[in-house]
Amino acid sequence: MLYQVVMLNDDFTPMEFVVLVLQEHFRHDIETATQIMLKIHHEGRGVCGVYTKDVAATKVELVLAAARQAGHPLQCILETA
């Protein structure tokens, strides 16, 4: 079974940080990362990628750790694909 990593919108995390996380942790190019960030911004959520459970769970933890370290409340969750 595959799982999708979903980022949730908030009013505090800078858009540039979301794009950076999408590039660094999900290997998206700048255009794709920007499109996903805008989807998160406008629709409240966006899929970052689809992975096996272990990989998806690790990605969620890495994103949350990066957000905490940068002082942002960014939320990232795991859902079945």
Class at the top of the CATH hierarchy for domain 2-80: alpha beta
Q: At what angle do helices 15-26 and 53-70 cross, to 10 degrees?
A: 140
Report d(CA 3, CA 13) in Å as an integer. 24
Structural domain spans, the chain? 2-80
- Predicted TM-score (pTM) of the model is 0.95
pLDDT by residue for the chain (81 residues), tens digit each? 999 999 999 999 999 999 999 999 999 999 999 999 999 999 999 999 999 999 999 999 999 999 999 999 999 999 999
Provide the pLDDT for residue 61: 98
Q: Residue 3's pLDDT is what?
A: 98
